[in-house]
Amino acid sequence: MISQKMQDAINNQIQAELASAYLYLSMAAYCEKENMKGFGQWLRVQYQEETGHAMKLLDYLLERGGQPLLKAIDAPPAEFGSWLSMFEKVLSHEQHVTALIHSLYEVALAERDYASQIFLQWYISEQVEEEASASEIVERLKMLQDNSGALFYLDKELGKRKED
């Protein structure tokens, strides 16, 4: 049986993952409305990944005899400014999620919940990837500056992203 503290912390993380999914879906819609279909595709896959992160936590909680409790999710913004500032928001959001995952891991340490410690290691590694891929796009957008031909190329490339 999982402790109450661990359960509460996991339920908070389920909410955070679904809020991330909601944010990225809104970004995808923004891109597609502006005819940046490739950026939209990249963000749609990101949305699916975040939903997957939430589901994995929910399934784990059930497996441990816990009670998943779904909380309200705030509406995300609908406008994100320039492409660079939008991807900077993706990066800073992922840095925020990394901090949440680390706090969650600290709960598992304090509770001496060894199973949760092992389970959460996957999320710690995943956040390294999440930050790296967002950071790479930010750096590439900085290199492009106002080069719209290159922007067109990057949009095409991000559009090739598929769900794992």
| Nearest alpha-carbon partner for 23 in 127, 121, 131, 97 | 97
**Hey, which residues between 109 and 138 contact ligand OFO (CB under 6 A)?**
130
Site for ligand OFO in 1-30 (CB under 6 A): 17, 20
Closest to ligand OFO by CB, 37 or 89 = 89
Number of residues interacting with ligand OFO: please give it, by CB under 6 A: 7
Among 50, 88, 113, 155, binds ligand OFO (CB under 6 A): 50
Q: How far is the CB of 150 from ligand OFO (least distance, A)?
A: 26
Instruction: Specify whether the CB–CB gap between 95 and 36 falls below 8 A.
Output: no
List, in order, residues 6 or more apart from 109 with CB less than 8 Å away: 117
- The token duo for 124 is 């710690």
**Sign of the alpha-carbon dihedral angle for 21, 125, 94, 110:** positive
Question: Whose structure tokens read 């995943």?
Answer: 126
- The nearest distance, CB 17 to ligand OFO, in angstroms, is 5
Binding-site ranges for ligand OFO (CB under 6 A) = 17, 20, 50, 53, 94, 97, 130
